[in-house]
Chain A
Amino acid sequence: MRAVKLRKQDLPAFLKCVQSFGELWGPVREKDRQVLKKTDDVNQIDLTTIRTSLPFKKLLFPPRFSMFHFSGNKYTTSLEHLPNRIIFGLHPCDIHALLIMDDFFTRSFDDPYYTERRKKTAIIGFSCIPDEKCFCHATKTDTVEEGFDLFLTDLDDFFLIWVGSSLGDDMTRECPKIIDEGILPEDLKKYVEWRKYRNSQFKMDIDLTSMPEIFDLSYDSVIWEEEGEKCLSCGACTIVCPTCPCYHVYDKIEMGKIEGERMRQWDSCLFKEYSMVAEGHNFRESRAERLKLRFTHKLQAFVGEYGKPACVGCGRCIETCPVDIDIATIVRRLRGEEVKV
């Protein structure tokens, strides 16, 4: 993989330069949280961000959008006018989530609402030092080899930039004056040391080995009832999760007209209505059943289907759940470890 260098003070100039490829989106501080936002002023970007409150998925399958317009029985969709975008600042966990979503939305049927947006999106990844909620080393999503156009590693006075695609290559060539092609042996040494340091910074340890078997054997465990008792069915954990793609469909109609939009909106498997079928029969009536679905899907079922769990260890659900139900608590409890309930 081609690698180049960028001096720290040149990052704003570089980001300005790549804006010729599309709208720039990046993590921006808003009060006490960091959000992924479109920004023209590159100085607003907050490089200390560990996790944006909502992940990149809000750009590739927005929380709510119109799939098509209908007028009587004429259906028209407009996927032609989507903007080109650059998402800056994705960490390795989010890039892994992006790869999972790329695979998911093209399996069996191609979802044009995702793929058309994805085609117009460039990814500039950015390195991170884990905080106490990160566990991407457990999910093996702590490093990336693909899924980005450029990836920047912060090595104190400069950034080491991995070039992951032809588009990324073009970006570096757009601003030749500030891009340094000469990687020196001491730069490499610095990088290796940085990797060592980062690896030593993981504070949370959860063990995901044998999860599929553990799920099989815990199907009737009391843990589901106990955690289900606490769950508020608020759906926050699924909304913030970068690998949760479920959605709901409804028609929005203009008053007095047979014209309107077929809308798609994020949904949550933890909402009660999720599995309700005709005549109010619900296949997953209890919160315990719904929680079990969420975690079985992420940690057991997905492994069988995709060879890896549908959790990238980003820690968003840990940060978000008001009653502390999250991947880490569930896994520890299933493994029989002490967790205060």
Chain B
Amino acid sequence: MTGLTALKNAYLPESMRLIRRYPLIEGVHFFQVRAVDMTRALSLDYLPGQFMMVSIPGIGEAPFSISSTPSRPGLLEFGIRRVGRVTNAIFQLKENQIIGVRGPYGNGFPVEKIKGNDLIIVMGGLGAIPLRSLLLYALDNRDQFGNIYLLHGAKTPSEMLFREEFLNFRYRDDLTCLLTVDQDDTGKWPCYTGLVTRLFQQLTDIIPQKTYVAVCGPPVMYKFVVAELLKLNIPKHQILMTLERRMKCGVGKCGHCIIGGYIYTCVDGPIFTYWDVIHMKGLI
């Protein structure tokens, strides 16, 4: 243990300023924060797929995935859905207010392993939040990745997270951007309709051994997406998925996130390979 880690109390939140917030979709808001200490703000490093604990004094803490990319230091971005006590309190916050944040925690995506390979990102629902980090990271370091595919499914256009940002990605020639909605309630949706699994028809020329896939979405999505990926012969250890568990500490101590008796989701996860998942009992 180094002297530095011994000095720092991992449980104490750091002060960060809420810079900007706006709704992404009904019930989910975008929050941009920055460490009050500017040196810290610029040096705060993390991996796509890691999460932070956001603290509301008097109410409590909750884990949220980082949606920004470490390739653009300074600001941290979150997408937060309002569901209960802590998230209600977060939704009361106004720009310029100071909040407590600690982290980053979790293993994050193995970006060093993915580099040099093709990357398919499959997102649904809130899964877009952590995967946006990976997508932006890969695009910011474009020369280090092979082909990049984005597959994103939402129920309706108005329920698609980061809709405008992703619609603009259709015009990039260094990314295959496939967006779909189950139902077009606007009549003006310019992309696909149907389930996200249908987008796999568009994936031709996949070289399975050279391809990593990152999947994140509602539990029902995993089963169908994985079936498609196995049809494409993607190796099981190259399919990455994120899992959610209840978390109280984020640092492998409180025990709440434990899976199958030995995996601490907060330290060993939240990113697991499909290979891990089929070998861990009680996982999904």
Contact = CB atoms under 8 A, between A and B. Distances in A.
Given A73-B57, A73-B98, A108 B252 contact: yes
Nearest to A79: B9
A291 to B, nearest CB: 11
A197 interface: no
Contacts of B12: 68, 75, 77
Contacts of A70: 57-58, 100
A253 B60 CA distance: 11
Interface stretch (B162-170, B193-201, B258-266): B258-266
Interface in A71-119: 72-73, 75, 77, 79, 104-113, 115
Contacts of A258: 57-58
Interface in B240-263: 244-246, 248-249, 251-256, 258-262
B245 A275 contact: yes
A158 interface: no
Interface residues of A, number: 51
Contacts, number: 120
A246 B262 contact: no
Interface residues of B, number: 38
B7 to A, nearest CB: 9
A109 B252 contact: yes
B11 interface: yes
Interface string A271-299: 00011111100011000010011001100
Which of B59, B84, B258, B260: most chain A CB closer than 10 A?
A: B258
A304 interface: yes
Nearest to A238: B255
A253 B15 contact: no
Contacts of B220: none
Contacts of A292: 261
Contacts of B251: 108-109, 111
A267 interface: yes
Given A246-B256, A278-B83, A284-B282, 13 more contacts: A67-B11, A70-B58, A72-B57, A109-B5, A109-B251, A112-B11, A247-B248, A251-B58, A262-B57, A277-B244, A277-B245, A297-B258, A300-B262
21 contacts: A68-B12, A70-B57, A70-B58, A70-B100, A75-B100, A77-B11, A77-B12, A108-B251, A109-B5, A110-B1, A110-B6, A115-B6, A246-B255, A248-B254, A253-B57, A267-B255, A269-B255, A275-B245, A277-B245, A283-B246, A300-B262
